[in-house]
Structure 1
């Protein structure tokens, strides 16, 4: 069976590596164009492109897939199925119709919950106790296609998006190989239920600004959900500070007020309860434990975070 692959970040690269390791023929990989990255803002290939190039697979990097010219390499590849994972480009119906067995998507949630761009972030932010991977047959809707495989993964109390992402990436890689080995006709397609639909909107940088009037339990989830991107941001004096590790505790004060600042953590009052911050970062510096951070940037009790 000939399998084309469309994806961009590390989540997708792990799946591509698994498909290759399972022995499937992959004549074409689609990924987004190289983007500027790093301090020098040099063009960098996506993780998926790096895997494809190392394996000697032709790579197609259109900005969109709207025109016949943009779609031509996939049409000419004559593949049986297209696997899609975090590609970041909408597939029009003409592309969905090209592979003989259609297009399979690796989605990082238990559909129909958290359709959309940021399912891992949103599951942690909402306080969900589990998420998972759904392998679905793609249609023209936003993650609305029938489900072929579905497997749950618990969300631990200290999970960050980074850690949960890695577990789901490996789970998705295992499941897509299982799905491909069962094709054609070996998997029952189950329509998604109408109940329980939620949408995982793309994370905006404006969301990363901490609102201290919110309950501490919500802010704790926010810090975990936005680790490693985009990072929860608060301002102390004139200095923006990223918060990387924190836990909600039972203490009270005026929202934003520093109640304690010592090696064990910086405690800041919230709308309900307080947040004990244990890992912080100021601009141009590394992430530091509270103890190391306070040596370089003392924070006075009674001062305020905005």
Structure 2
């Protein structure tokens, strides 16, 4: 089967490696055009573009859906993994078998841009991946295959992305076999459907009057981007990692005890493990607290 993969982030790389070793012909990878990145805003290619160049696979960077339509004309199938662009139905219908997508949730739960983050934030007990045929809707197409795992309650979004990227390999390869054998996907139910809206920086602000579990889930969900944050002495501080504790501290108040630093919530306190102060790199929370000379009057807002 003549295949292309349309993807941008590094989570596509495990599937790309598997396809490169498979019996299928990976004609090229399609990715977003280079974009400015970092403090210097220098132009940088996507992780998938870098993978293609390193593995001798042709890399295409169409700058419009019209250009995308032109490059998929001679393909049997396109696999999308976090491509980052809405593809019109007129383009989806061009390849012989259309487009399929590797989505990082158990559809129809968490349709949309941030399924991994929303699953963590909501405290879901299970998660997984779904491979489905793209249609005109938002992650509403018929399903070929899926795989499920228990969701580690301490996992950050970055960690869960890595797990799901590996989990997705088998369902993708299974889907290729199903398509080759002429099997049709199963219509996706709308029962239990939820939307995984994109995370915003503003949404990352922590309300210390929430419960410890709610706050911990938000911090894990927003790690690494856009980050959960609070205000300390008038400056933004990102809270990267916390763990549960049995300490009791008023909401937002800070406590230095047992060589650890705790912050209060509406339930039990959370132990701060890693923070990123304004204008500085990430650091152990105890190092930050010692440098900031935390007092009993200090609070996070």
TM-score by length of 1: 0.92
Which of 273, 282, 292 is the equivalent residue of 1:297? 292
Contact 2:157/2:221 (8 A) holds in 1: yes
Query: C-alpha displacement at 1:44, in angstroms?
Result: 0.7
In 2, distance between residues paired with 1:248 and 1:61?
Answer: 45
| CA offsets 1:116-140 (integer angstroms, 9 cap, x no match) | 0000000000000110010111111
Query: C-alpha displacement at 1:210, in angstroms?
Result: 1.1
Partner of 1:86 in structure 2?
A: 82
Contact 1:62/1:70 (8 A) holds in 2: yes
Query: C-alpha displacement at 1:187, in angstroms?
Result: 4.5
In 2, distance between residues paired with 1:22 and 1:70?
Answer: 25
Partner of 1:16 in structure 2?
A: 16
Any gaps of 5 or more consecutive residues in structure 2? none
2:196 is aligned with 1:205: no
Contact 2:76/2:98 (8 A) holds in 1: yes
Which of 146, 149, 159 is the equivalent residue of 1:150? 146
Contact 2:262/2:272 (8 A) holds in 1: yes
Contact 2:155/2:220 (8 A) holds in 1: yes
Contact 2:120/2:153 (8 A) holds in 1: no
Query: C-alpha displacement at 1:70, in angstroms?
Result: 4.5
Mean Cα displacement is larger for which, 18-27 or 116-125?
18-27
Partner of 1:166 in structure 2?
A: 162
2:288 is aligned with 1:286: no
TM-score by length of 2: 0.93
Contact 2:262/2:271 (8 A) holds in 1: yes
Partner of 2:56 in structure 1?
A: 56
Any gaps of 5 or more consecutive residues in structure 1? none
Is the alpha carbon distance of 1:64 and 1:265 closer, same or farther for their aligned partners in structure 2, counting shifts above 3 Å? farther
Partner of 1:224 in structure 2?
A: 220
Is the alpha carbon distance of 1:26 and 1:261 closer, same or farther for their aligned partners in structure 2, counting shifts above 3 Å? same
Is the alpha carbon distance of 1:231 and 1:271 closer, same or farther for their aligned partners in structure 2, counting shifts above 3 Å? same
Partner of 1:38 in structure 2?
A: 38
Contact 1:263/1:294 (8 A) holds in 2: no
Aligned residues: 301
Is the alpha carbon distance of 1:165 and 1:264 closer, same or farther for their aligned partners in structure 2, counting shifts above 3 Å? farther
Mean Cα displacement is larger for which, 149-158 or 49-58?
49-58
SS state of the match for residue 130, structure 2?
Answer: strand
In 1, distance between residues paired with 2:85 and 2:188?
Answer: 22
Query: C-alpha displacement at 1:206, in angstroms?
Result: 0.7
SS state of the match for residue 226, structure 2?
Answer: coil
SS state of the match for residue 180, structure 2?
Answer: coil
Query: C-alpha displacement at 1:155, in angstroms?
Result: 0.8
Query: C-alpha displacement at 1:224, in angstroms?
Result: 0.8
Query: C-alpha displacement at 1:178, in angstroms?
Result: 2.6
Is the alpha carbon distance of 1:264 and 1:84 closer, same or farther for their aligned partners in structure 2, counting shifts above 3 Å? farther
SS state of the match for residue 252, structure 2?
Answer: coil
Which of 257, 264, 267 is the equivalent residue of 1:269? 264
Contact 2:251/2:264 (8 A) holds in 1: yes
| CA offsets 1:44-74 (integer angstroms, 9 cap, x no match) | 1101111122233332223331x3x442122
Query: C-alpha displacement at 1:105, in angstroms?
Result: 0.5
Partner of 1:26 in structure 2?
A: 26
Mean Cα displacement is larger for which, 44-53 or 296-305?
296-305
Mean Cα displacement is larger for which, 229-238 or 23-32?
23-32
